[in-house]
Structure 1
């Protein structure tokens, strides 16, 4: 908790302003310029995704073959693709898909990984061994290759790509929580809670889990950027969103043959992938600097 003293003279009482940990964290975060830039970028894409029906003039599936491969103009701000579809409209609607996949896959990874990490770290012994070996097996494969294998088994679709990305990232959050639980279960407040007969479930979800949220929030923010890139990679390979869904990776795949003749067809979806990933990474770095006590005084 941070304290600040206010006063105009020695004859007046000193007023002390106390800041809670969350308010203090917000103040530190807002002082980090790069983190604020990341927050602005992410907020901009979220707003564009939510307001897509009101800020676009065309349907993202509308094809006008007479206008195919038109360069950016007042009529089509980002130009058109090989089927005459408005790229600006498809890019804005693509933000919905990418953010949806990013957020939901990370939430799924966090929920499953946190549960497994809590159980492994708290009970230890053979339970910890089985869960840890499960994490090791998943980590033994490169993430994108494992995601490709999962989608190949389940079938190409956006929903299956979401499942694959969530499964691939489970060990990241599971091992993070497990390490946190191993350090917390030896603390005095846990020992005291056990001494008065607090049940294991209450210990896990009322005492240990709340003290493990900070690293999860930081890693989850960084994980959204990774999930968006992985979704774009699966879409580029034809294993993610299927036509006519305007997913950024799929848009890049469909337009790669026009890189030289119509570069705008790949530039704008690529820039969107870059900016969203950059925004979440800057936010994640800012949150890490805010909540990590070793970095606060740097």
Structure 2
């Protein structure tokens, strides 16, 4: 248990540090102030070099990682919240509403997540808010299916049946019987949904659906660096390393 808390402390500390890039970076990630150093390598002043627009690349990676994490966090939490509401509607809304919910989710499962995201972004004005909505909507079918399985398994356990048999209220059963066993599995589900949301966000922005092509986000940075892959591969390597590092850190979180 102490080892898990130690690992979680390191992971959350690193995540907080990356999120701090939204508020502060060594240089303005959008200021084109270093045209004389364009497409340059690392130096003491510019650790990751300067991109083709004269922007400090370390500042852009830091801001991009913070943006990616924040929007993936919003999308994943939104997907879990909507999934929980749909599960309540299925369980408490009668057979007809339950069938409607299951049909809609089955239809969503049949569609690739990237396609759902593309649909949302296509019919909305391109921008950060539409991207957050897109990755949240794309994660709902998977999150609902998994949450439904978890809930069904927990609700059928012997200790829940015992609590029901002795006359425990729904609230009492949830707080004292179901929740202590639910939250570790819910954390594991969130890790999966967050990873999907992060990859979905980066895929959509890599395809040029961010609205602003110069927005500091890991997908847009990968897209911008793609043209420099043979000349200066570092402009692709660094955002790729940042993306893989965030995914790896989330994987290390313990319940």
State the shift of 1:216 in Å. 1.4
Contact 1:94 1:247 (C-alpha < 8 Å) held by counterparts: yes
- Residue 155 of structure 1 is matched in structure 2 by 125
Structure 2: segments with no counterpart, 5+ residues:
none
Partner-residue secondary structure (3-state), 1:113: helix
State the shift of 1:103 in Å. 0.9
- CA radius of gyration, larger in: 1
- Residue 237 of structure 2 is matched in structure 1 by 267
Residue 209 to residue 134, structure 1, CA distance change in 2 (3 Å): farther
Whole-Å Cα distance in 2 between the matches of residues 226 and 42 of structure 1? Answer: 19
Residue 164 (structure 1) aligned to one of 105, 112, 134: 134
Whole-Å Cα distance in 2 between the matches of residues 145 and 208 of structure 1? Answer: 39
Whole-Å Cα distance in 2 between the matches of residues 41 and 77 of structure 1? Answer: 23
Residue 90 (structure 1) aligned to one of 60, 82, 94: 60
State the shift of 1:91 in Å. 0.7
Residue 189 (structure 1) aligned to one of 163, 172, 178: 163
State the shift of 1:282 in Å. 3.0
Residue 216 (structure 2) aligned to one of 224, 230, 246: 246
State the shift of 1:108 in Å. 0.4
State the shift of 1:188 in Å. 2.9
Question: Quick check: 1:125 aligned with 2:124?
Answer: no
Question: Quick check: 1:212 aligned with 2:187?
Answer: no
State the shift of 1:225 in Å. 2.0
State the shift of 1:176 in Å. 2.6
Partner-residue secondary structure (3-state), 1:154: coil
Residue 57 (structure 1) aligned to one of 18, 26, 33: 26
Structure 1: segments with no counterpart, 5+ residues:
1-25, 288-298
- Residue 68 of structure 1 is matched in structure 2 by 38
- Residue 111 of structure 1 is matched in structure 2 by 81
Whole-Å Cα distance in 2 between the matches of residues 206 and 119 of structure 1? Answer: 20
Residue 28 to residue 74, structure 1, CA distance change in 2 (3 Å): closer
Whole-Å Cα distance in 2 between the matches of residues 241 and 280 of structure 1? Answer: 28
Aligned pairs for 1:223-234 (under 5 A) are 223-234=193-204
Output the aligned Cα RMSD: 2.6
TM-score by length of 1: 0.74
Contact 1:63 1:85 (C-alpha < 8 Å) held by counterparts: yes
State the shift of 1:59 in Å. 0.7
Whole-Å Cα distance in 1 between the matches of residues 5 and 29 of structure 2? Answer: 37
- Give the ranges of 4+ consecutive aligned residues of structure 1 lying more than 6 Å apart after TM superposition: none
Deviations 1:216-237 (A, max 9, x none): 1111023222211111111101
Whole-Å Cα distance in 2 between the matches of residues 244 and 104 of structure 1? Answer: 22
State the shift of 1:175 in Å. 2.1
State the shift of 1:46 in Å. 2.2
